[in-house]
Amino acid sequence: MTSTDQTFTADPEDGTTFALTPGQIFRRRIFGHTGFLIGAGLILAIVLIAIFAPLLAPHDPYAQSLSARMLPPVWSDGGNPDYLLGTDQNGRDYLSRLIYGTRVSITIGLGAATVGLLIGVTLGVMAGYFGGWIDHAISFLLTAQLALPGLLLAMALVFIIGPSIWVVIGIVGVLHWTYYLVVTRAATQRIRSQDFVAAASASGASPRQIIWHEIMPNLLSSIIVIFTFELGIAILAESSLSFLGVGIQPPTPSWGLMIAEGKQAMFYRPWLVVLPGICLFLLVIGANLMGDGLRDITSPEGRNE
């Protein structure tokens, strides 16, 4: 072992000097991506608003004041400085309702995207790892799911089960797992054929151990990306359901419901529709910018692998 011994003692430069750990590369990429920073900033702000809603809201979102109905925002004629963004048809403070509305949107967005994640990733990893008839069966399920009209089915299900925030989370989640499945199945198939999986099974690892220890860490970044996209989609789905009257029930403040309630007066009091619309837009664009950013940050090209 004389000659190979020298190999490493005489090896001051072995390529580690300029190589960064995956974590360092990740951080460097995050702070170089403007879109991601804007999106993440928006989402963070909205999440903070949702958490501290009782501290931020100037009024009780449920308190009705019949003397102060349909007040316009403070900057238009007839605005009242007590109600910065005006009031709705029941005289409830619009700003407070918008602030509390973040809670519904964030809860349903996170909840439904998580339900979808659990279903989609489980099926995707199983299909990709085991292949064969399991893959055929799951792919068939996917085709069937893609053929269903989602919103219509959601309406029918909520109508049958009865509306509540948990039912909406469950149903929106159950209808939004296809994207997870498609991506994790393909990624699992690719990772499964790599030699480190064979090395693990040659070391006596069971399929469960291989999936959790070898495959999952490699899926994590793509799962996070899909999760952010699904967050936006689920929030929009909740708003659609609430707008159609089968989602969140009054008097709970939900942006979709607020748009529905304001739509009769839309032409005379457009802020009733425009304000919750803007909130929804900011939240969803934030989620999408963050998802796009994460996809760029975690994509393999240019990475040191």
Partner 1 sequence: MSTLLDIRNLHVSLNIPDGQLRAVRDVCLSLDSGQSLGIVGESGSGKSLTALALMRLLPRAADCRATRMQFQGQDLPALSDAAFARDIAGPRIGMIFQEPMTSLNPVYTIGRQMTEAAIARGMLSGPDARKKAIDLLDRTGIPDPEARLAQFPHQLSGGQRQRVMIAMTLMLDPDLLIADEPTTALDVTVQAQILDLLDDLRRERRMGMILISHDLAVVAERSDKVAVMYGGEVIEQGTSAEVLRAPAHPYTQSLLRAIPHLGGPPGRLGAIPGTVPSLLHPPRGCIFAPRCAHRLPECTTARPPLRGTGDTHRYLCTLDHPPQVRLTSDPLIGSGAVDGAEDVIAASHVTQVFQTRKGLFGPKREIRALDDVSLSLRRGETLALIGESGSGKSTLARIMLGLSVPTQGQVTMLGRPVSEISGTERASFVQPVFQDPYSSLNPRRRLAEIIARPLVLRGDGDAAARKRAVEEAMDLVRLPARLLHAYPSQLSGGQRQRVAIARALVTRPKALVCDEPTSALDVSVQAQILNLLDDLRAEMGLTCLLITHDMAVVHQVADRVAVMYQGRIVEEGPARNVLANPAHDYTTRLLAAAPRFANDAPVPEVAQ
**Buried residues in 117-139 as b, exposed as e (16+ CB within 10 A):** bebbbebbbbbbbeeeeebeebe
- Residue number, 64 or 218, with CB nearest to partner 1: 218
Rounded CA-CA distance 110/162 in Å is: 21
Binders in 21-40 for partner 1, by CB under 8 A? 21-22
The three-point CA angle 42-103-266 to 5° equals 85
Binding of partner 1 by 1 (CB under 8 A): yes
Q: Which of 11, 66, 67, 162 binds partner 1 (CB under 8 A)?
A: 11
Helix, coil or strand: residue 87: strand
- Residue number, 249 or 298, with CB nearest to partner 1: 298
Query: What's the closest the beta carbon of residue 18 comes to partner 1, in angstroms?
Result: 5
Binders in 166-195 for partner 1, by CB under 8 A? 194-195
Where do the H-state alpha helices sit in 10-162? 22-30, 34-51, 53-56, 94-130, 132-147, 150-161
- Residue number, 4 or 67, with CB nearest to partner 1: 4
Q: Which of 31, 140, 159, 166 binds partner 1 (CB under 8 A)?
A: 140
Binding of partner 1 by 151 (CB under 8 A): no
Helix, coil or strand: residue 29: helix
The three-point CA angle 69-72-73 to 5° equals 125
Q: How many residues bind partner 1 (CB under 8 A)?
A: 45
Rounded CA-CA distance 167/164 in Å is: 5
Binders in 201-220 for partner 1, by CB under 8 A? 201-206, 209, 213-214, 217-218, 220
Interface positions with partner 1 (CB under 8 A): 1-8, 10-22, 136, 140, 194-196, 198-206, 209, 213-214, 217-218, 220, 302-305
